[in-house]
Amino acid sequence: MNVQEFDVVIVGGGLSGLRVAFELAGKWNAAVISKVHPLRSHSGAAQGGINAALANTPTGKDDEPKRHAYDTVYGSDYLADQDAAMFLAEEAPKIVIELESMGAPFSRLDSGLIAQRPFGGAGFPRTCYAGDRTGHVLLHTLYEQCVRKEVKFYDEFFLIDLIKVDNQIAGIITMNMATGELVIFRSEIVVLATGGFGRIYKRSTNAIINTGDGLGAAFRAGIPMQDCEFVQFHPTTLLGTNILMTEGARGEGGLLFNKDGERFMSKVAAKAMELAPRDIVSRAIETEIIEGRAFEDGYVHLDLTRLGKEKIMERLPGIREISMFFAGVDPIEKPIPVQPAQHYSMGGIASKYKGDFGETPMNGLYSIGETSCISVHGANRLGGNSLLETVVFGRYVSRVILKGGKKKKLSSEVVLKAEEQTLDMVENLFKQWKENTGNKPVEIRLVMKETLDKNVGVYREVSKLQYAVTTLQKLQKEFKSVQFDTDDRVFNFGLIRLLELRNMIDIAEVTAFSALWREESRGAHYRTDFPKRNDEKYLVHSLVSRDKENLVMKTKPVTLGLFELKERAY
């Protein structure tokens, strides 16, 4: 048995995991475990920017953290925990300046200050950016700093399951993808930062690696999933490939038109127009598609031509390249065909249990970034807050860990027994998959994705949600007899896809189950049969866990007190 022992194990090499590792480097013996090289993490796909109330622009001179927090809570349709939103907003200026001091090449105003652009749902130009490659440059910046501080990386190791002793984390079991060897990383502190689960949908902006690995492992270990019904659909993704067309394109002045040349956002958000929150814009586009005012293949136009060549080349060069390479459209000359697609998961591992942000119900286990639900985004995330969340709570959790001190080592006898049981379980699972005579994994995966797309999308209603839950329950049974040869494990990406499917099918079922339970419309969750927000019954976080075969729903209160509840104006 290959066992590696550390003070802290961080699972995930994106911005969240790197920020934790950066803080711990040189102080504790820590390691970053990632199924891809850190620079291939999905954080690098974030285009538009990172929010902070720096007040650098003339039109944003009155901005302040409290206004940022209010916009976050208002945009979340009041499901965000208000203490978390305020903490996020107050830390934002400090974290952006920190990233700048590390060498992050932010775009600049003529004054030399960090440039800021408008984003949907923001009262001021608040989004700091580096062209349209903000996530890319922040990821490289933090990775460079971690290399400088000699952080230990284990790349291409796949998280299979958590190892626990009673309610204490004891480590993780992984597969070395290059050798096929099962490797245990032993630690009494584990941080899950494995990203979102967007690949449960067929149409998604997410990288192929976003399969909910941390969520699946935590869920199987008995930790509840929180608010998974809230799935954000980005309004502007490229037709066909669903590659993200950043909100920054609209922040710079891009306009949306239907096939009749109508700027249709005037019908639903006459003041904010294209810069309304993402859930509003997604529903507006979906309505145009449903009611026959979109183009034949189900898309509308994102028109950047009015910006001119110079501005597009300076501020949106990546968007131009993507449009030209994947759609054959030069946005300097023609509009871009766009449609809504799954983009972000507001829900995740319940991660604020005992007072500290990121702390899960399991002792020693933390969760941050899109893997977690702290909850700063509530029912709808504002653009520019996701990159911010990763680094703010990455820094926070690492400091909580340091302040708490190293955990007392568990009894070696008890740990060895837990490790052996977990190892046997995994080997038995592989043996079972080899001997089964059921469906191929790809068949189950395709049905899962199409079920989510068609029934748990932008618009939702009871019969479709019931069908989705029933279908996913059937797929769970089919998955138990799934057939796959597990003998050759060296760079066996078919086996990795199967392990990913094991996670996705759980989270897909939780998502549909939660959406069926929440009989109201709030943020990104829109029920055509319950079109109003219902604060009396549903101003609560959903918590889903599994009791034997069945999913169980519990709730917990939303943290209020800073901002008065209001109906959103859209």
503-522: b (≥16 Cβ within 10 Å) or e: bbbbbbbbbbbbbbbbebbb
In the chain, the amino acid numbered 61 is: K
Pairing between β-strand 116-117 and β-strand 30-34 as defined by DSSP bridges: unpaired
- Edge-to-edge strand list for the sheet holding 152-155: 152-155, 30-34, 8-11, 190-192, 365-367
Do residues 58 and 197 touch, judged by C-beta distance below 8 A? Answer: no
Do residues 175 and 410 touch, judged by C-beta distance below 8 A? Answer: no
Calpha distance 136→245 (Å, rounded): 15
Calpha distance 254→258 (Å, rounded): 14
Calpha distance 496→39 (Å, rounded): 20
Element (H, E) at 343: strand 336-345
Q: Give 153's strand partners.
A: 32
Q: Give 11's strand partners.
A: 33, 192
Residue that has been written with the tokens 């019954």 in this structure: 537
Pairing between β-strand 459-460 and β-strand 255-257 as defined by DSSP bridges: unpaired
SS (H, E, C) 226-244: ECCCCEEEEEEEECCCCCE
Do residues 6 and 30 touch, judged by C-beta distance below 8 A? Answer: yes
User: Cα dihedral sign for 462, 465, 470, 471?
Assistant: positive
Residue of 521, 570, 506 lying closest to 220 (CA atoms): 506
Query: What six digits make up the tokens of 293?
Result: 């005012």
Do residues 364 and 168 touch, judged by C-beta distance below 8 A? Answer: yes
Calpha distance 480→327 (Å, rounded): 40
Residues marked active site are found at 278
SS (H, E, C) 260-324: CCCCHHHHCCCCCHHHCCHHHHHHHHHHHHHCCCCECCCEEEEECHHHCHHHHHHHCHHHHHHHH
Residues 6+ apart with CB under 8 A from 260: 293
Query: What six digits make up the tokens of 431?
Result: 């043996």
